[in-house]
Amino acid sequence: MSEKKHIDRIFQERLKGFEAIPDDAVWENIKSELEKEKDDDKLIPIWWRYAGVAALLLLFLSIGGLMFNNDANSEPEIKVVDSENTTSSGNSTLQNLSDDEKNSVDLNLDSNQNESLASEDKISPQSKQESNIDNTNKNLNNSAISVDIPNDVIDNETNIATTTSSNKDLNNEGLTNDNGVPKNIDNSIALDNKTNINQGVPSNSAAITSQKSDDNLPQDNTSAEDLQKIKSNKSLVDDSPIIVAQNDITEEEDELVNIASVDSLSIEEEIAKIEDLKNIIEEEKNLNRWSISPNVAPVYFNSLGNGSSIDEQFNQNSKTGEINMSYGVTGSYAINDKLVVRAGINKVNLGYNTNDILVFETTGKGPNSALLSNVSENKNDTHLSIVNARSVVLDQNSNIVNTSNVGSINQALGFVEIPIELQYNILNTKLGVNIIGGFSSFFLSENELRSEINGNSTLIGEANNVNDISYSANLGLGLNYSFSKSFNFNLEPIFKYQINTFNNVSGSFNPYFIGFYTGFSFKF
Amino acid sequence: MSLEQLIVKCKKNDTKAQGELYKLYKSKLFTLCLKYSRSHAEAQDNLQDAFVTIFKKISQFKNKGSFEGWIKRITINTALQCYRTKGVFSIVNEDILDETDWEVEDTDEISMDYLLQIIQELPDRYRLVFNLYVLDDYSHKEIANMLEISQGTSKSNLARAREILKKKIEVYKDEQKLQSL
C-alpha cells in the first residue's frame, strides 16, 4: 500500500524526468520563419541606402540650385555698372548709343549701331515690316551678326557701307584689336539678351509696337539733325542712367528696327521660336493643377541627444528607435510647373525603446513605489516599479533582483498628422526630382507605455507629458515617375524634426522621424 | 562547442548554431509546452513560436543568470501570450474552496502520459496557474502579474485545478482497482 502524498508532489516528481520530442517539422518551420525575418531585416538597410543617396542628392541639388539662382541675379547688376562706365567715357555719341544698348560692353558694337542709326531714315520702310516682331532681344542679336556678315537681303547698301567703314575706323583708332572684335561682339550679344529679358523688354517692345502704327512713321524718318539733338539732350543727363534710358527710347526703337531689318531669314526663325514659346505657355495653362495621392510610409522614430521623455533616471540608457507605419492622403495644387502647394492627413504611429530597465512588482503605493515621473499608471490591482537596471547593479542590490527581468520600456505614440508643404520641382521629366519643405501639426491619438521583458509585454500606463497638439519641421526629397500625364509613382524620404511633442523631458530629448512616403498620385 | 560559443553564434544569426541550440533544448521546452497547452499540436505551435522569439531576442541575453531559465521563461510567456490573445482568462469560477486536503495516494500505476493528459484537460486558466505555481515555482504575486489577474484569483484557480486533478486521479485509481479485481 502506498503512502499518501500531496497532489503537487506527485506531479512534480512524476513529471520531473519527463521529456517529449517534437516532430521534425517544427524545426523546419522555425527555420523558414527565421529566414523570413532575415529577409525583412535586409529590406531595412536597403531603405537606408536609398535614404543616404537621396540625402546626398538633396544636398547637391540645393547647393547647385542656390548657386544657379545667385548667378542669374548677379548678371544684371554687372550690366548696370558697365553701362555707366560706357556712359561716362568721352565721346558723347558713343555714350548715348551705349545707353540705347543699356548693357553693351563693347565699344565696337556701339559704333556699329551708331552707323546704322545715321542711315536709319533710308531703311525705315523695311523697318516697318520688321517691327512686327515683339522680341527686341532677338533683333539685337541680329544686329551683331550684321556687323560680320554682309547681308544680301538688305536693300539699303549705304547701311552696310557705313557699318563696315566705322568698323575700320575703330580698328584704326586702336580701340580694339582685330582678333578681339568678333569675340567682343558675341559677348555683348549674350549679355544684352539676358539683360533685356530682365530689364529692357517692356520699354523696347512698347517702342516697337508704337512703330507699327503709321502715325509714328515720321518719327522713324527723323533726320540726322533731329537725332543729333536728341543725342545732345541725352549727354546732359548722363549721370542718371535711368533717365538716359528713357530719353533713349525713340532712338532705341529706331536702332532696333534698323538692326532687325538686316536679316529677314533669321527673323522668320525667331518668329517660329516665339510661336513655340507661345505653345509652351498654352500647354502650361492646360496643366493638371490638382492631384491627390494616397501614401504609405515606414517611419523610423528616434531622438537626438541624451535625454528621456519618460524619467530622468533613463537619460543615459540606450534608446532604440522603432520602425512603424504612417498612412494617409495628400492633396496638392500646382501653382506653376515648378511650385506645388500640398496638404494632407496622415495617421502615424511612432515608438522607441528605452533599454536596460528593470521591472518588479510591489504592493501598496508607498513613496518608493512611485512610478516614473512622466507616466500615469494603468489602473490595475498589481503595481509595477520600474527602475534603471544600471543603478540597481551599482547599488549592489542584484541579489534581491532577478537580473533576467531586465528589459526595455516601449513608448508608443499615435498621431493624426496634418502636413502643409511646398514642393519645388527641380526636374520635370519622366523621372522627376523635387525638394519638399514645410511643417506638420500633430494631434495625439494613442499614448501607451509597455515593459518588454523576455518577450512578454506588460502595459505600464501612459505618458502624461505628451502634448495633445505638436508640430514638426519637414524637409525631404521627392522622386516621381510618371506613367502617364495624370498618373505618377512617388517616393519621398522626408525628415521631420518634432517640436513641442513633450512638455517635460529630462536632458536633451529632441525627437524626430524619417518616413519614406510611397504612393501613387492622380492628377486632374 | 560550449553553450557560450553557441549563443554568440546564434546572436550572429548563424543557422547552423541555431540548429544546434534547438537540438539541445527542444525536448525540455517541448515538455514545458505540453504542460501549458491543451494538445500535442498546440504544444508544437507554441514551441515553434517560442524558438522563433528566442532566436530573435537572443541578442538581449546578457549572460546574466542561466540561459536555460531565460529560454524557459520565454517559452512560458509564449504559451501565456497565446491565451492572452485568445482572451480565455475570464471564464472560471473565482470562489475560494474550503477544502485544503490535497493528499492523494501515490502509486506507480499512474502513468506520466495520464498525468499530462489530465493537466491538458484542465480549463485554460486552471492549467496555467497550476503549471506556473506547482511545476515552475512562480509565486501567486508573479502569476497574478503575468496573467493580469489578482492574487486571490490565482489562489482560487490553483485550488480548483488541484480539486479537478485529485478527482481524476482517484477515478483513475478506482478504475485500476476494478480492472485488477
Domain count, chain B: 2
Q: Which position has the higher pLDDT, B136 or A113?
A: B136
What percent of chain A stands above pLDDT 90? 14
- The answer to whether residue B95 sits within a structural domain is no
Residue A482 has pLDDT above 80, yes or no: yes
Residue A110 has pLDDT above 70, yes or no: no
Grid cell at residue A513? 522621424
Residues B7, B75, single domain; the answer is yes
> A32, A385, A404, A458: which to substitute to probe chain B, counting the most B Cβ within 10 Å?
A404
Distance of CA B109 to the CA centre of its chain: 23
What confidence score (pLDDT) does residue A182 get? 43
Calculate mean pLDDT across residues A115-134. Answer: 42
Distance of CA A18 to the CA centre of its chain: 68
Q: Is the dihedral of CA B32, B34, B38, B40 positive or negative?
A: positive
Report the b/e string of A455-475 with b at 16+ CB within 10 A.
bbebebbbbebbeeebbbebb
Residue A524 has pLDDT above 80, yes or no: yes
Which one of B52, B86, B120 terminates a domain? B86
Residue A408 has pLDDT above 60, yes or no: yes
- The answer to whether residue B96 sits within a structural domain is no
Q: Which position has the higher pLDDT, A416 or A255?
A: A416
Residues B58, B125, single domain; the answer is no
Residues B73, B111, single domain; the answer is no
Calculate mean pLDDT across residues A509-517. Answer: 90
What confidence score (pLDDT) does residue B121 get? 92
Calculate mean pLDDT across residues B54-66. Answer: 86
- The answer to whether residue B102 sits within a structural domain is no
Identity of the residue in B19, B78, B108 whose CB atom sits nearest the CB atom of A455: B78
Residues B75, B15, single domain; the answer is yes
Residue A257 has pLDDT above 80, yes or no: no
Computed over every residue of chain A, the mean pLDDT equals 66
What confidence score (pLDDT) does residue A45 get? 57
* A284: contact with B, CB 8 A cutoff: no
Residues B142, B81, single domain; the answer is no
Residues B135, B69, single domain; the answer is no
The confidence band for B85, taking pLDDT boundaries of 50, 70 and 90, is low
Calculate mean pLDDT across residues A382-386. Answer: 65
Instruction: Please tell me the least confidently modeled range out of A305-319, A409-423, A441-455, A472-486.
Output: A305-319
> A5, A15, A392: which to substitute to probe chain B, counting the most B Cβ within 10 Å?
A15
Residues B63, B117, single domain; the answer is no
- The answer to whether residue B64 sits within a structural domain is yes
Grid cell at residue A141? 542679336
- Rounded to a whole number, what is the distance in angstroms from the first to the last CA of chain A? 91
Helix (H) or strand (E) segment spanning residue A346: strand A339-362
Query: Is residue A270 helix, strand or coil?
Result: helix
Calculate mean pLDDT across residues B16-30. Answer: 91
- The answer to whether residue B94 sits within a structural domain is no
User: What counts of helices (H) and strands (E) characterise chain A?
Assistant: 15, 15
* A31: contact with B, CB 8 A cutoff: yes
What confidence score (pLDDT) does residue A414 get? 93
- The Cα–Cα gap between A91 and A8 comes to 120
Residues B14, B76, single domain; the answer is yes
- The answer to whether residue B143 sits within a structural domain is yes
What confidence score (pLDDT) does residue B119 get? 92
The confidence band for A421, taking pLDDT boundaries of 50, 70 and 90, is very high
Calculate mean pLDDT across residues A156-163. Answer: 41
- The answer to whether residue B131 sits within a structural domain is yes
Calculate mean pLDDT across residues A148-156. Answer: 42
- B-chain residues within 8 Å CB-CB of A25? 44
What confidence score (pLDDT) does residue A473 get? 92
Which one of B41, B56, B86 terminates a domain? B86
The confidence band for B44, taking pLDDT boundaries of 50, 70 and 90, is very high
Backbone phi and psi for residue B152, each to the nearest 5 degrees, phi listed first: -60, -45
Calculate mean pLDDT across residues B115-121. Answer: 91
- B-chain residues within 8 Å CB-CB of A22? 26-27, 30, 43-44, 47
Residue span of the structural domain in which B165 resides: 107-180
Distance (Å) from the C-alpha of residue B71 to the closest C-alpha of chain A? Answer: 8
What confidence score (pLDDT) does residue B22 get? 93
Residues B8, B72, single domain; the answer is yes
What confidence score (pLDDT) does residue A184 get? 41
What confidence score (pLDDT) does residue A43 get? 56
**Residue A20 to residue B34, Cβ atoms within 8 A:** yes
Residue A80 has pLDDT above 50, yes or no: no
- The answer to whether residue B93 sits within a structural domain is no
Torsion angle, alpha carbons of B151, B156, B160, B163, to 10: 110
What confidence score (pLDDT) does residue A165 get? 40
What confidence score (pLDDT) does residue A204 get? 42
Instruction: Please tell me the least confidently modeled range out of A106-110, A446-450, A515-519.
Output: A106-110
Residues B66, B120, single domain; the answer is no
CATH code at B35? 1.10.1740.10
CATH code at B115? 1.10.10.10
The residue in chain B having the minimum alpha-carbon distance to the alpha carbon of residue A355 is B60
- A-chain residues within 8 Å CB-CB of B85? none
Residues B57, B112, single domain; the answer is no
| Tens of pLDDT, residues A183-225 | 444 444 444 444 444 443 444 444 444 444 444 444 444 444 5
Residue A43: count of CB within 10 angstroms of its CB = 12
Calculate mean pLDDT across residues A388-400. Answer: 55
Residues B77, B128, single domain; the answer is no
Identity of the residue in A3, A33, A406 whose CB atom sits nearest the CB atom of B106: A3
- B-chain residues within 8 Å CB-CB of A23? 44
The confidence band for A16, taking pLDDT boundaries of 50, 70 and 90, is confident
Interacting residues of A108 by C-beta distance below 8 A, sequence separation 6+: A147, A167, A170, A175, A176, A181, A184, A185
Query: Is residue A386 helix, strand or coil?
Result: strand
Q: Which position has the higher pLDDT, A215 or B26?
A: B26
